[in-house]
Structure 1
Amino acid sequence: MTDQQRFASVWDAIEDTPQQAENMKLRATLMSALKDRIAQSGISQAQAAELFGVTQPRVSDLVRGKINLFGLDALVNMAAAAGLQVELRILQAA
């Protein structure tokens, strides 16, 4: 019988360090919110690009989930441009 290690998230399982995992969790959350904004608004990628202040290929990368192409700064800027309010909550690690 093998020991099965449990992780709080997929990022905790695949990233090398807890810091990298936290960064990826934040990026994934922001990307998901931006994709939801596009879907709920019913706008095209070109319209989203104009709204977010980026190019249409950049929005395509976002929609396709290419998380490694986006940093936190860029995603926060896009979210703010999209009219989303970004809040950060800090919790004590277990």
Structure 2
Amino acid sequence: MKVSYFDTVWDAIEPSKSDAANMRARADLMIAIHKTVLRWNTTQATAARRLGLTQPRLNDLLKGRIGKFSLDALVNHATRAGLEVKVRVGKKAA
């Protein structure tokens, strides 16, 4: 039996490195938005309005339904939440 090791769960379950990178970025954005919304200490309806979302759509985000959000949409929501989004690109360590 061969044992495989992966850097992240996305590397293990996604069919390509680019798909895994996309999912990692989406997950990171969803987590950051989730933490920000929790700090607002308000209702989902109020937070949704602040982000330009419907309450059910915000609920999908807070529940981690990652497949319902594109990377582009999450960047927009993060910006509306007052977050600064930066992209870091570099050569992968060997």
Corresponding residue of 2:82: 83
CA deviation vs aligned residue, 1:41-62 (integer Å, no higher than 9, x gap): 1121111111111111110000
Corresponding residue of 1:69: 68
Percent identical pairs in the alignment equals 45
Please list, as runs of the form range in 1=range in 2, the aligned pairs for 1:18-37 lying within 5 A after superposition: 18-37=17-36
Structure 1 residue runs of 4 or more that deviate by more than 4 Å after TM superposition: none
> Secondary structure of 1:6's partner?
coil
State the Cα distance separating 1:93 from its structure 2 match. 1.9
CA deviation vs aligned residue, 1:7-53 (integer Å, no higher than 9, x gap): 00000000001010000000000000010001111121111111111
Structure 2 alignment gaps of length 5 or more? none
State the Cα distance separating 1:4 from its structure 2 match. 1.1
Aligned: 1:47 with 2:9: no
Tell me the number of residue pairs that the alignment of Structure 1 and Structure 2 aligns. Answer: 93
State the Cα distance separating 1:3 from its structure 2 match. 2.1
Letter in 2 for 1:22: A
What do you get for the CA RMSD once the two structures are aligned?
A: 0.8
Distance of 2:41 and 2:74 partners within structure 1 = 20
TM-score, structure 2 as length reference: 0.95
Distance of 2:42 and 2:27 partners within structure 1 = 21
Corresponding residue of 1:10: 9
